[in-house]
Structures are given as structure tokens and as C-alpha cells.
Amino acid sequence: MKGTNLGEFEELVLLTVGILQEEAYSIAIAKEIKRVTKRNVIFAVVHSALNRLEEKGYVDSKLGGATQERGGRSKRIFTISAAGKKALLRSKTQRDALWSLMPKVVFKNI
Amino acid sequence: MKHKPPVWADRFFAWFCAPHLLHDLQGDLHERFYERVRDYGVRSARFQFVLDVFSFFRPYILRRRKHGFSQTPFRMLFGHYLKSAFRSMKRDKQFLVVNTFGLALGIGCSLLLIAYVYTELSYDRYVDDPSSVYRISCSTVIDTKETQFAPIPPAIGLALKEALPEIKDMARFMTWSYTTGNSSVTYQDKSFYQQNIFIADSTIFKVITFRFLAGNAAALRQPDRVVLSHTLATKIFGPDYLERRDLLQTVIRIDKQELAVGGVVKDIPYSSHWHPEALVGWQGRGNDNVWDDSHAYTYIRVNPGTDPQVLQKRITDFIAANENIKKVAEAFGAKVAVFLQPLTDIHHHSDKMYELSPGGSVGYMYAFSVLALFFLFSSGINYTNLAIAASAHRFKEIGVRKVIGALRHQIQKQFMIEAVLITFIAAAIGVGIFYLLIPRFNTLMEYKLDMSIFRQREFLMTATGVVLVLSLLSGFYPAFYLSWINPIQILKSKLSGGPGKAHFRKTLLMTQFAISAIMIVAVLVVSAQMRYLSQKDLGFSKENVMIITIPDAYMKDLLVLKEKLLVVTGVSGAAVCDYVPGYSDMVDEHYVERANGEMKSSTVSRLHFDKDYLRVLGLEVIQGRNFDPTNEADYKAAYLVNEAAVKAYGWDKTPQGPLGRKIEGFNYGKKGQVIGVVKDVNLFSLKQKVAPLVMGLTPYASFLYVKTDGEHPTEMVSRIEQTYKAVMSNEPMTYQFLDERLMRLYESDQKMNAALVSGSQVLIFISCLGLFGLSAFMVTQRTKEIGVRKVLGASLREIMVLLTRDYVRLIFMANLVAIPLGYLLMQQWLKSYAYRVDLSWWMALVPVSLTVLLALLSISFQVARASRANPVRTLRYE
């Protein structure tokens, strides 16, 4: 297994996989990220993030249904694994901890 | 799903993608493609598909080759070649810098020229299925003199459409404003002049492709609607016009006519021969029954599978049988022909009367392609020469490689890879240079290139192809040469002299300098001709004449303005005329009495002006008299002609002479007599000899010529402008100067000149760069020789001469070949002018001395350093 830390983009992807549930395949994920974050995500980058996540064991994948638009090729549906959930939680707890330490003054003038 | 993603990209992806990922990734790519076809159209989807494919070029996706005997050594060697290429580049930094920079400059400049040629070639191809669109134009032959017109009489298009089923759609359009092309556009408190407003059949949208941003093609079926271009709409309503809910009801005024916005279309691409800014419906404005006046630009779209030759035959037959056309032909005493012209030919092959835009010159395209080749050639030569020279340092490397078993083709491959690598690095820098040069190129050539051209697939492929070929060609000789070397000799003797076969390199160098010399000759001749044109005495005074354009709507105020201007300090005269050099040529049919008294029709240039025109321009009446405005008959029945006309019609050979000869203007319907002869002058372009000219009297015309004393021009203009505004209720004044206007007649040649000057500068620079690099190597190779000579008592000067003599001789020889060639070439070009400079001896002297001087400069730096070096140091270890 590669390093177990979760990159910022990876976290986004992982969260989106969680959100989309059974619909989580690469195109849907890329679109959802674009819709929510307004970032211009390059499709290949999403795929490479998914690939890394799978190598780290944070997502599992299986082949899903095929459509005519795909030339009869099936989709690879990703699901978040137990390790993935843990990693997400860990990252959230870390951030919450940091947020709780943030002095309110910092945001006063925004 | 009738569209498919680009097959090559799909295959490419399948080739590099690892098998276990291929299935679902390809599915994703295709799904995205069809989504984009739906949202953005096929073109964009295909382009995005290719981008997507390339963005997948990531390590984890790349197919892992199976390990096998044939594959592994290749991969290993390939990596090894790259490594050694990088190492040798690092070692020879001077070689790298000089070479890459030379190549980059060559590639950047030639890309620019290729982009120009590409744009020229893509003219009018934005239209859907351009090959099925034709323009119908016509010609008249009178007395064996043929005149071709771009527009035709409006009735012909209509009749052809009804008669011939091959014609799927027919559309006509004509200019809204005849006289100046300028019309006032008014909306609320905004008002400005606009060109390119047309009256068009509503079928125009079926023939020429427009993309509607608002409204639809039905707009032109109503007479009170106008379709605007995006640019004009932005100019009138501001950038957010599409958000106006009432856009399609908004009323604007064009030349005081009220028109509602019926639609907005995307701007037609730059590479189009027609650029309408506004289209107004034909109904009620155009006249469908005119058979004898060519003013309707007529375009057709034919049914698929129509053979143009068959259609042309049918058109010719139809025209021959048509009663109306027979009548017109009889009246003119002319043969009338109507012919098809493919849409995509118009830009390059059109020099007809009343073209919509000046055509592109095929000559330029050739000239620029040749120039692009010169650039590539010159930088390629640099590479070859330097690579061979630099190889002296690498003999040992090659020797060792060969001894441990490298085969010839492997060494060749190694050097080819190096060449490709350097060329592609140079190409990347070249694109940067391209980007930097665009603005300068656009100003020089009055063109509109931008980086978006790289988004055009064909261009991108051409460019990549050119770079690849360049790298292969320039790497070929070094690779071939170096692989040939006998390793034993190299390793045995301490081979320090340069490679033996020097004459190949010398030939290349000579070619390079010959190209530079040809360019210098071209520059000299073109600029001499330009200078000649601007200084030539045209026979009339062109200095300090300001020409004010009078808008149609203010024509009635013209005489008041003229009176008022005459009392402005510094104004010495004012005259009215309907012609400005460089606008449309003024040609018309006239009946002219011949020497034997017969009236025959004839196509001649014509002008209309008032009595002051001759005086303001300093023209002389050499026989008879000038117009007299107090004589009512002069308006209706008087003509002046020039000497050329007198000669052309044979009047000078009869005792009766030109005075009193009858002339009948066709369009203007004026029957009159010649009252005077004006001295021949070049009112039109110097490309033609003075042609017969017929002049009539008019009180009103679109241009007011104002002669000033030429002192304090800026204040002069503002004084005139004040007067103008006072008379024309604050309208903005449009004006130009006669001498500038005249020079614009040679605009395309001036552009050529500018391009040549910059092009030759870069070319010479590249050649010198190569020579600079080459001499550096030569000097290092001969360091010891120089040392020995110095020890034996050679003077500094002798050594300098020794080292440069060869090069100077080479460059002389290059000039010897190049100058006659350049002369021949330029003589051809000069033939396009009826009045031209003579080629003189100094035009040969300049390139010789210039090239020799520059070459000496670029080598002397290295040579001087070497000849000054202390021999003790260079010979110490011997």
C-alpha cells in the first residue's frame, strides 16, 4: 500500500463517491465536483485520483451497467470502502480540531 | 448517433492504454463525446475528445510492454540515446544555444507565414458545404475589350432560379449606400457611420451560413427588419444586448429609415470575402426587373451532385435565348456572358469590377510559402553545419561506441534522435516567438492572425509535420556522416582536425548566404520602386489636398460648406468630385463617336466634378475650355476628355479634332459633346498606363477636395473641422489626404515590402548566427595551428586574413549566384507596373558588401580572440 494520507483533491473525490452512492462512476463524479466546487476538473485527473484511491484501498470498484452511448462498454462503479470511510472521518476530525482552535478574530473583517 | 469520435484518436488511445483499464475508460470517453455533441456541436466535441485522450497520457494508464527479447533492448537503447543526447547538449552549451535559437527563430517565422498561407487558403470555407456554393458574375465584351463584373443585374438571378432546377437556393444582395459605402446608424442618442450594410434576399441564410444569436432567418422576409452582426449589435446596444427582452422589437435608424431589429448573427469569420454588418430585406428596396444594371451580388447553392460544367452550359444556353438580355446586349453593342464562380475561388481569383473586398494575391501566397521554406532551410542548414562541426568533440564517443559493437544504424538513430529532440525544443520556443511576432505581423500586413489558429486541426498537423520533416532533414546528414567514420582511425590517431568533407558544409553555407543576398536584392528593388511611386510626378498636385467625405444625407449642404471653407485661412481652393483614388474604379459604358463619325459603345473610366476641380489639382486644359457652371448646357451636354481618349478614338488623326465630338453616357443618360481636352495625368494607379477618361460636370458629389497651404496641418484640420461641424449640424467629419490615399493604391506592394524587410533581417540574422557558431568551432580546431604560426612569426593581421579568407570567398561566390537570380525575379515583379524604376548597379553592390560585412562581423569576434591568444598557452602540452 502506498502512503495513507489523503490529498485535498482525493478527499473531494472520495466525498463525492460517498455522496453519489450507486451512481459513482468517473463521469458522474467529475460532473458533481464541477457542479459543487465550480472548479474546472479535468476528467483524466479525476480518474487518476480514483486510481490512487483504489491503490490505497479507500475505494472498491466493480463493473456496472453498459449503455449504448458508451458503445456497449460498462461503467466502473466505485464504492467507498471501510478504510476510506475511516480516512474521511480522520480528516474531518483533524480539521474540526483545528477549526475549534481558530480564534474568531481572524474572520472579523471578511 | 451518426457522429463518431475521431477514429485515429480512439485507436491511439486503445494503443497506449493498459488493457485492464481500456474497457471502461473508452466507455467514459465515448459517453462524454456524445454528451458534448449534444451540448456544443460535433466540431468542438471531436476536439475535446482528442484533448481528453491526450490528458490520459499518464504513467499509470500507459500500457506496460510485455518483456521480450525484441522489445527490451529497444527501450533500453532509446532511453540511453536520450540520456547521451542530454549529456552532450549539456557539454556543448554554445552549440545548444546557437542551434536551438536559430532553429526556434526559423520555426517561429515560418509558422507565422504558414499560418498566413493557411488562413488565405481557408477563405470562405466556413460556409456549410462550400463546394456547392457559387457566385454568378457577368462580363461584357465591347470591341474585343472584356470587362468583368462581380455583381449582375438582379433580374438574371431570379430568372435563372426559376428556369434551372439544379439551383437549390438563390440569394442576391446589394450595397445599401452606393456613393460612399458609409451610412449613419442611429439609436436613441447614439449615432455613427457604418460601412458594409446590405440589402439582401431572405434566402441568403440558406446560401451563406450564418449562426443566429437572436431572432431567425424569417426576419428578412419583412421589409422593415434588419439583421445585425454581433459586432454592430454590440456597438449599438452595448455588450449585454442579448439580455434585453425587447431586443427584437427595438427600432434603430439607418440613414433615417426606421428598422426593427429582426435578429443578430455571429460575426462572419475574418477569412471571408464578404463582411456584412447589417442586412435589410430586399422587398420594396431591390428591383427585380432590372436587366441592364449590374448591382446585385448573386449567389446560388446547387443540389448535391450537380456538375458545374453542365450547369454553366445550361446557364449559357439560357442567357443566349433570353429576350431581355438580347435587348440589353444590342443596346450596349456588347456580348454579354454570365458565368459561375466557385465561392472558394473568389478571394484568390477575383479582380472583377466592384468586388466586395480586395482579393488576396496568389503571388503573395507563393512568395510567402517560398519565404517560409527559406526560413526552414536556413535554420536547417545551421543545424546541419553546426552538428557536423561540433561532432569533432564526439569522435571518441562514436569510436568507442563502434568498437564495443554499435551498428551503423544505431549511431544514425542516436544522432537522429538528438536532432528530433533539439528541433522539438526549438519548436516549443518557436511557438513562443510566433506569439510575440503576431502583433507586429498584423500591423505590417493589416491582417488578423491569433493563437486560436493552433486550435485548427489541419494547421496543427501541418505545423507538426513541418517541424518533424525539418528535424529529420537537418539531422540526416550529421547522422549519416558520423556513422561512417572508421573507429580505428579515430581511436588510433589523436584526430584533432575537423571532419574531412568540408565542401558539403561549404555548399550549405553558400546556399544560406545566397538566399540572404536574394532577399537583399528584393528588398532594394521593392523599396526603390515604392520610393519611385511616391516621388513620381503624377502631373497634378497631390500635396496638401484634403478630401472630405460628404454623407448622402447632407449632400444638399455641400455648396454652403464649400463657400464657407473657401474663406477659412489657409484654404486656397475647394472642388467637388465623385472619385477618390483607391475606392471603386469608375468604369462605365459610353457611346463614343469614332474618327469616322460612327457611334460605338465603349467601356471607359469616367469622373464627375465641378469647375474648380481642374484648378485645385493643377490640371491643364490644353484644347477647348473648362466647364462653365453658369452655362446650364454644360451640366447636360458637355464632356471633357483626356489626351489618351483623343488618341484612342483616333480624333487626333482627323482635321476636325476632338472638339464637338459626341459622347453618350449610358447610366447617366447624358448626351453631349466634347468641349475640351485635359492633359494626361495619372489619376489612377501607376500600374496602368493612362487610359481614356471621360469627364462630366456635376454640382454635387460625395467628395470635397480642399487645397490648403500646407502650413500647420493639425491646426488646419481643426479649423476645417469646425467649419464642417457648423454647417453639417455637428456630424463627425471623415477625411483623408490625397497623397496618402494615392499610396494606398500600392498597399499590397508596400505590405510585401514590409514583410520582405523584416523577413530578410531575420534570415540574415539566422545565417550570421550559424556562421558565428561555425567559426567558433573552426577556431578551436585550429588553435594549435594558430599558435605555431604565431611562434614562427606570423602577424596578427596575417592570421586574421588566413582565417577569414575562406569565408569571404564563399560569400562572394554566393552573391555571384544570387544576384542575377534576384535580378531576374524582381524584373518579373516590376513588370506589373507600367511605370517603374530601372535596376542599377548599386543594387548589386549593396548585397555583396552587406553580406561580407555581416559575415566578417560574426566571425571576427572568435577569430580575434584566437589570434590574440598567447601561443605559449595553446602549445604548452604538445
Alpha carbons B349 and B471: distance in angstroms, whole number: 36
Nearest by CB to B58, from A25, A48, A74: name it. A48
Are residues B31 and A69, on separate chains, in Cβ contact within 8 Å? Answer: yes
Nearest to A43 among B23, B24, B55 (CB): B55
- Whether the CB of A71 is below 8 Å from some CB of chain B: the reply is yes
The C-alpha of B266 sits at a distance from chain A's nearest C-alpha, in angstroms, of 27
The verdict on B31 touching A (C-beta cutoff 8 Å) is: yes
β partners of residue B146? B141
Cβ of residue A34 closer than 8 Å to a chain B Cβ: no
B interface test, pick of A70, A75, A77 with most B CB neighbours within 10 Å: A70
Instruction: Give the ipTM.
Output: 0.86
Provide the 3-class DSSP secondary structure of residue B795: coil
CB B861 within 8 A of CB B772: yes
Chain B: residue nearest A66 by CA? B27
CA–CA separation, B181 and B151 (whole Å): 16
Size of interface A-B (CB pairs under 8 A): 54
Structure-block grid coordinates of residue B103: 532553429
Asked if B622 and B678 touch (Cβ cutoff 8 Å), the reply is yes
| B23 inside 8 A of chain A by CB | yes
Q: At what angle do helices B747-781 and B842-868 cross, to 10 degrees?
A: 30
Residues sharing a CB contact under 8 Å with residue B743, sequence separation 6 or more, in sequence order: B533, B534, B750
Q: Which residues contact B193 (CB under 8 A, 6 or more apart)?
A: B182, B183, B184, B185, B551, B732, B734
B14 touching A, CB under 8 A? no
d(CA B500, CA B200): 72
Average pLDDT along chain B, 878 residues, taken 10 residues at a time: 81 84 86 87 87 83 56 60 79 82 93 92 91 93 82 93 93 82 84 89 93 90 91 92 88 90 92 93 88 91 92 93 89 86 88 80 84 91 84 76 79 85 92 93 86 88 92 86 74 53 79 90 89 84 88 84 90 89 71 86 86 90 90 87 91 88 76 91 83 88 89 87 87 85 82 86 88 81 81 84 87 91 89 86 86 87 78 69
B56 touches chain A (CB under 8 A): yes
Kindly state whether A44 is in contact with chain B, defined as any CB-CB distance less than 8 angstroms: yes
Q: Exposure of B426 by Cβ count < 10 A (0-12 exposed, 13-18 middle, 19+ buried)?
A: buried
A:83-102 residues touching chain B, CB 8 A cutoff: none
d(CA B307, CA B301) in angstroms, rounded, equals: 12
Of the candidates A44, A73, A75, the beta carbon closest to that of B58 is on A44
Nearest to B24 among A48, A69, A73 (CB): A73
Q: b/e map of B788-807 (b: 16 or more CB within 10 Å)?
A: ebbeeeeeeeebbebbbeeb
The C-alpha of B55 sits at a distance from chain A's nearest C-alpha, in angstroms, of 6
Q: Give Cβ neighbours of residue A42 (< 8 Å, ≥ 6 apart).
A: B55
Q: What is the pLDDT of residue B74?
A: 56
pLDDT in tens, B680-734: 988 888 888 888 899 988 888 889 999 998 888 888 889 999 999 888 887 778 8
pLDDT at B251 (0 to 100): 92
Can you read off the three cell numbers belonging to residue B702? 460625395
The kind and range of the H/E element at B310 are helix B308-321
B740 touches chain A (CB under 8 A): no
CA pair distance B814, B37, nearest whole angstrom: 57
* Average confidence score pLDDT of chain A: 85
Say if A75 is an interface residue toward chain B (CB within 8 Å).
Answer: yes
CA dist B551 and B185 (Å) reads: 12
- What's residue B389's pLDDT? 77
In 3-state terms, what secondary structure has residue B172?
strand
Shortest distance, CA A101 to any CA of chain B (angstroms) = 40
Angle formed at CA B473 by CA B468 and CA B475, multiple of 5 degrees: 95
Nearest beta carbon to residue B34 from set A43, A69, A74? A69
d(CA B600, CA B663): 9
- Output the pLDDT for position B444: 84
Gap from A96 CA to chain B (nearest CA, Å)? 34
d(CA A41, CA A31): 8
Q: Are B24 and A44 an interchain contact pair (Cβ–Cβ within 8 Å)?
A: no
Domains, in order of start, for chain A: 8-104 (1.10.10.10)
A56 reaches B (C-beta below 8 A): no
Residue indicated by cell numbers 590517431: B493
Q: What is the pLDDT of residues A67-110, one digit of tens each?
A: 777 877 888 889 999 999 998 998 899 889 998 998 888 787 76
| pLDDT confidence of residue B277 | 94
**What pLDDT digit, counting tens, does each position of B834-854 carry?**
888 888 888 888 888 888 888
| pTM over cut 0.80 | no
Long-range contact set of residues B28-31: C-beta below 8 Å, sequence gap at least 24: B28/A25, B28/A26, B28/A27, B28/A43, B28/A47, B28/A70, B28/A75, B29/B5, B29/B53, B30/A69, B30/A70, B30/A71, B30/A73, B30/B5, B31/A27, B31/A67, B31/A69, B31/A70
H helices then E strands: how many in chain B? 27, 24
- For residue A67, the chain B residues in CB contact (below 8 A) are 31
Nearest to B685 by CA among B615, B830, B582, B570: B582
Q: Does A48 touch chain B (CB under 8 A)?
A: yes
**Separation in Å, CA of B60 to nearest CA in chain A:** 8
- In chain A, which residue's Cα lies nearest the Cα of B49? A43
Task: Mutate one of B28, B33, B35, B36 to test the A interface: name it (highest A CB count within 10 A).
Answer: B28
Chain A residues with beta carbon closer than 8 angstroms to that of B26: 71, 73
Measured between CA atoms, the residue of chain B closest to residue A43 is B52
Smallest CA–CA distance, residue A56 to chain B, in Å, is: 14
Is residue B613 helix, strand or coil? helix
Nearest to B55 among A42, A66, A76 (CB): A42
CA atoms within 13 Å, Cβ hemisphere of B49: 31
B1 at A interface, C-beta within 8 A: yes
Nearest to A75 among B27, B60, B61 (CB): B27
For position B776, what pLDDT does the model report? 80
Q: Which three cell numbers stand for residue B75?
A: 527501450
Q: Do B1 and A27 touch (CB under 8 A)?
A: no
* Residues of B in Cβ contact (< 8 Å) with A48: 58, 60-61
**Chain A partners of B60 at a C-beta cutoff of 8 Å?**
48, 51
Q: Under an 8 A CB cutoff, do B58 and A73 touch?
A: no
Helix axis angle, B362-390 relative to B502-535, nearest 10°?
150
- pLDDT at residue B213, as a whole number: 92
Residue among B31, B55, B56 minimizing CB distance to A27:
B31
